[in-house]
Every structure is written in C-alpha cells, then in structure tokens.
Amino acid sequence: MESKTARLTVLIDPVKKKAFEELCAGQDLTPSQVVRQLIRDYLDSHGVTYATQNKRGPGAKA
C-alpha cells in the first residue's frame, strides 16, 4: 500500500459525485481507492514511472 502523504482536491458536479459514490459503494470500494487506481492506470498508460513509498508495518509483505 502506498503511503498517503498528499491531498488532491477535485471540484465535481454534485450529481456526478453522488453517482460516483453510489457506484463505488456498490462495488465495496471507497471513492479514494478508485481515484488512486485511476491515477495509477493513467500514469501507466502514458509510460510515466514514479517511485513509491511503501509503509512497512505489522503484517506487511516484502
């Protein structure tokens, strides 16, 4: 899991926000999880590489 160290503020139409939140809930995902995946996919599709910081803690996999 990536460490969460930065905040991204997005302005979105309230109707789209509600529909997005409902879709996420229906898939047992949080909107943040989906947005993080969208960003990873977008970076990957454009060949952008980046370093990640992994949190190491109890139960963390090597």
**Cβ proximity of 54 and 2 under 8 Å:** yes
State both tokens at 24.
Answer: 């996420």
In a domain, 6, yes or no: no
- Comparing CA positions, the residue from 62, 61, 36, 60 lying closest to residue 50 is 36
Range of the domain at 25: 16-45
Split at pLDDT 50, 70, 90, the class of 4 is low
User: Has residue 7 been placed in a domain?
Assistant: no
Burial-class residue 20 by CB neighbours within 10 Å (0-12, 13-18, 19+).
middle
Domain count, the chain: 1
pLDDT in tens, 16-27: 999 999 999 999
In a domain, 53, yes or no: no
Residue 9 lies in a domain: no
| Whole-number pLDDT of residue 45 | 98
pLDDT digits (tens, 9 = 90+) for 17-58: 999 999 999 999 999 999 999 999 999 999 999 988 766 555
Does the model's pTM come out above 0.85? no
For residues 3 and 56, give the distance between their C-alpha atoms in angstroms, rounded to a whole number: 10
Q: Residues 6 or more apart from 18 whose CB is under 8 A from it?
A: none
> Does residue 30 lie within any of the structural domains?
yes
